[in-house]
């Protein structure tokens, strides 16, 4: 079994005052979409994982209505990932996995008839969202990353660590998450700024932190049981020919390095704003975006530490919001 290391966090987590209402809303939504039918989620598992508490920790300043919408998107992503893993990845069902992804993509094009809860949830979200071509492209990438993992696992192949990190950014929808962060704080930023290499590096590092941490926290549940061969710990272990404990330590070091890089980039944003000639309103939006990214990362860590998503128990007991650990979590609101 993997010993999960202590993850330090240089940023402070905060909790939305709307957490209880969002939890009630999200639970009602997943039930309406048919996601609590037992595979992959039972009601007990859903409650223990606390998917309804994810958005209130990662978007603590969002309005109630925005937070409900944001949390539905995140919950849908969690559900798709879990449903794909248990339905197609673990049994190596390539044909079924392709059909599942094709069905979701048909919903995005408006051609599908949603039957599976994942497709029904996506159809509902699409009707409530304003998706542009970039959004649809990133959703396609998210779905393609599922198939990439399935193909590698079916072949018994452990990918190169560099390839894996790049694909994991897609499988956690880093681009879409960053966009939701910007929207939640009303940060209207010029496209040319968002395409800047520094801003691109910020989003990449932002996506790497939760993606890599999930592969440590979920190792025993996913990779240790043979459900997937495309894990960062497995890739590092094979690439360097090291023991499991050392591989975990190396991945944890990479997470810490990404957090340091994020801190460095955030310190460069004022100079970048001047370079692009941002006016006062845009500079304020950039500052809100930076602060929101920090809140998201700290909130995601706290949620991961208390969620029962990867517990070995069939009905893990959900922890309450208290006694957060790690540098920077002292300012979390206690509930």
Residue 327 has pLDDT above 90, yes or no: no
Q: Given this model, what pLDDT does residue 333 score?
A: 46
- Cα 153-155-160 angle, rounded to 5 deg: 70
Q: What is the mean pLDDT of residues 59-70?
A: 98
Label residue 103 by pLDDT band (50, 70, 90): very high
Residue 321 has pLDDT above 90, yes or no: no
Q: What is the mean pLDDT of residues 271-296?
A: 98
Q: Given this model, what pLDDT does residue 330 score?
A: 37
Residue 312 has pLDDT above 90, yes or no: no
Label residue 272 by pLDDT band (50, 70, 90): very high
Residue 273 has pLDDT above 70, yes or no: yes
Helix, strand, coil share of the chain (percent; to 5)? 70, 0, 30
- Residue 119 near residue 180, CB atoms below 8 Å: no
Q: What b/e sequence results for 66-96 when a residue is b if at least 16 CB atoms lie within 10 Å of its CB, and e otherwise?
A: bbbbbbbbbbbbbbbbbbbbebbbbebbbee
- Strand, helix or coil for residue 50: coil
Tell me the C-alpha distance between 2 and 263, whole Å. Answer: 28
- pLDDT tens, residue by residue, 176-229: 999 999 999 999 999 999 999 999 999 999 999 999 999 999 999 999 999 999
Q: What is the mean pLDDT of residues 103-128?
A: 93
Q: Cα-Cα-Cα-Cα dihedral of 189, 190, 194, 197, to 10°?
A: -130
Q: How far is CA 242 from CA 42, 222, 233, in A?
A: 37, 20, 10
Comparing CA positions, the residue from 260, 237, 320 lying closest to residue 2 is 237
- Residue 303 near residue 324, CB atoms below 8 Å: no
Structure tokens given for 178: 């960053």
- Cα 323-326-331 angle, rounded to 5 deg: 60
Q: Given this model, what pLDDT does residue 113 score?
A: 79
Tell me the C-alpha distance between 35 and 29, whole Å. Answer: 9
Q: What is the mean pLDDT of residues 44-66?
A: 97
- Residue 87 near residue 40, CB atoms below 8 Å: yes
Tokens 């949603």 found at? 114
For 302, counting Cβ atoms within 10 Å of its Cβ (0-12 exposed, 13-18 middle, 19+ buried), the class is buried
For 314, counting Cβ atoms within 10 Å of its Cβ (0-12 exposed, 13-18 middle, 19+ buried), the class is exposed
Q: Given this model, what pLDDT does residue 326 score?
A: 40
């Amino acid at each position: 079994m993997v010993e999960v290391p202590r993850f330090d966090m240089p940023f402070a987590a905060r909790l939305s005052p709307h957490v209880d209402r969002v939890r009630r809303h999200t639970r009602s939504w997943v039930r309406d979409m048919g996601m609590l039918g037992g595979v992959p989620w039972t009601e007990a598992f859903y409650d223990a994982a606390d998917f309804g508490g994810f958005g209130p920790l990662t978007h603590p300043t969002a309005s109630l209505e925005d937070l409900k919408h944001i949390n539905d998107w995140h919950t849908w992503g969690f559900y798709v990932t879990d449903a794909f893993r248990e339905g197609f990845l673990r049994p190596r069902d390539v044909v079924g996995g392709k059909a599942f992804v094709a069905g979701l993509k048909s919903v995005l094009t408006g051609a599908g008839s949603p039957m599976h809860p994942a497709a029904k949830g996506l159809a509902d979200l699409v009707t409530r969202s304003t998706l542009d071509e970039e959004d649809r492209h990133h959703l396609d990438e998210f779905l393609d990353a599922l198939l990439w993992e399935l193909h590698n696992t079916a072949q018994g192949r452990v990918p190169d660590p560099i390839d894996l990190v790049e694909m994991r950014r897609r499988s956690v929808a880093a681009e879409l998450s960053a966009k939701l962060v910007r929207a939640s704080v009303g940060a209207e930023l010029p496209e040319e700024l968002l395409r800047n290499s520094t801003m691109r590096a910020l989003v990449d590092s932002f996506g790497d932190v939760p993606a890599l941490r999930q592969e440590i926290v979920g190792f025993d549940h996913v990779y240790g049981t043979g459900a997937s061969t495309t894990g960062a710990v497995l890739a590092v272990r094979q690439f360097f020919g090291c023991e499991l404990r050392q591989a975990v330590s190396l991945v944890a070091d990479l997470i810490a390095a990404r957090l340091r890089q994020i801190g460095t980039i955030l310190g460069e944003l004022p100079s970048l704003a001047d370079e692009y000639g941002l006016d006062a309103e845009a500079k304020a939006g950039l500052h809100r975006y930076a602060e929101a990214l920090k809140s998201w990362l700290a909130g995601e860590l706290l949620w991961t530490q208390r969620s029962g998503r990867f517990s070995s128990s069939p009905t893990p007991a959900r922890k309450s919001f208290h006694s957060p650990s790690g540098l920077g979590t002292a300012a979390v609101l206690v509930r």
